[in-house]
Amino acid sequence: MSNLVIVEHDNNEIVAATLHTITAAQQIGGDIDLLVAGENCQAVAESAAQITGVATVKVADNAIFAHQQAENLATLIVECAKDYSHVLVAATTFGKNVLPRASALLDMAQISEIVEVKSPDTFVRPIYAGNALATVQSADAIKMITVRTISFEAAAESGGSAAIEAISGGTDTGLSSWVSQAVSSNDRVDLSSAKIVVSGGRGMQNGENFSMLQSVADKLGAAVGASRAAVDSGFVPNEYQVGQTGKVIAPDLYIAVGISGAIQHLAGMKESKVIVAINNDSEAPIFQVADYGLVADLFEAVPELDAAL
């Protein structure tokens, strides 16, 4: 067996999700190589070579991969994949965008968002917003896999000494061009990797009220998240969204404030170690998954919590 893990990065740093993906590859077994495709991404390749358990880092440094758009990157993955039994990438918006394209070009099925490796050809993945877990066995020659990062520990970022190998390849399809990326406003603590998350829902009533949650979050070293309802209402931008179609997170502590707990929201946070719900509706479904529930007006409870910390 041999695994190729596609590194997610911004040409400077590796996105942490990649480290979790490498652990999934370790559980499959066999050699692990990394693919770094980008432009002026040597720093990424050098950090990648330090990650424990990696044999070779393949680097495709080419302007056609500057923003790692799916059309060009998929052609490179297709060329590299033929040497491997497994190709893995994190189930982030990056991985979800590119891997199905490469899979179809290879005529291989993709196994999306695995949460467990049962054997090299058998994996567990959530379906129906996590309300069911399917165990699936793949008959394909190359297993194309996206990995749900919360289900696998991060591989150690140091201790390795992989070889770095420059590669060419890939096609400039000219099909799409990158224009711009809006800078995230959620820059205090990274929501995907935070140990504590304080999330607000429709009950927050407006965007200004999220400053109450930010204050609590700052005291706890926490990130701020939101339900889809809060994002749809324009209280906070999309990158705050936790849920089936937003980020799937599993912090040590998740504090849900003014969130009713729709199935789609629970799908994004119910693996959290400890869940707190603060809501004035005692019938809200969020209380069914909460370890600690407080039935209270959030506009009284949150300032009180802030003062108590």
Partner 1 sequence: MKILVCVKRVLDPQVKARVKADGSGVDLANAKMTMNPFDENALEEALRLKEAGVAEELIVVSIGGGKTEETLRHGLAMGADRAIHVVTEEALEPLAIAKVLKSIVDTEAPGLVLAGKQAIDDDSNQTAQMLSALLGWSQSTFISELKIDGDSATTIREVDAGLETITIKMPTVVSVDLRLNEPRYVKLPDVMKAKRKPMDKIELDSLGLDTAHRLTTLEVIEPEPRAAGVIVNSVAELVDKLRNEAKVI
Range 215-244, binding partner 1 (CB under 8 A): 220, 228, 231-232, 237-239, 244
Q: Which of residues 78-97 bind partner 1 (CB under 8 A)?
A: 92-94, 96-97
Nearest to 162 by CA among 5, 1, 28: 5
* DSSP assigned state of 183: P
CB of 164 to partner 1, least distance (A): 26
Residues near partner 1 (CB under 8 A), total: 89
Between CA 3 and CA 14, with CA 71 as vertex, the angle to 5 degrees is 50
- In terms of CB distance, is 58 or 247 closer to partner 1? 247
Nearest to 227 by CA among 151, 279, 152: 279
CB of 161 to partner 1, least distance (A): 30
Residue in 55, 66, 109, 167 binding partner 1, rule: CB under 8 A:
109
Q: Which of residues 6-65 bind partner 1 (CB under 8 A)?
A: none
Radius of gyration of the chain (CA): 21
Residue in 13, 40, 83, 127 binding partner 1, rule: CB under 8 A:
127
Distance CA 86, CA 133 (A): 22
Instruction: Give the interface segment with partner 1, choosing from 28-36, 57-65, 162-170, 290-298 (CB under 8 A).
Output: 290-298
CB 48 within 8 A of CB 138: no
- In terms of CB distance, is 58 or 94 closer to partner 1? 94
Distance CA 119, CA 276 (A): 36
- In terms of CB distance, is 40 or 185 closer to partner 1? 185
Q: If binding is defined by CB under 8 A, does position 264 make contact with partner 1?
A: yes
Which residues have CB under 8 Å from 176's CB, separation 6+?
69, 70, 71
Residue in 63, 134, 163, 166 binding partner 1, rule: CB under 8 A:
134
Q: If binding is defined by CB under 8 A, does position 305 make contact with partner 1?
A: yes
Distance CA 134, CA 154 (A): 24
Q: If binding is defined by CB under 8 A, does position 161 make contact with partner 1?
A: no
Residue in 82, 158, 161, 175 binding partner 1, rule: CB under 8 A:
175
Distance CA 227, CA 201 (A): 5
Helix or strand run (H / E) with residue 23: helix 17-28
CB of 160 to partner 1, least distance (A): 26
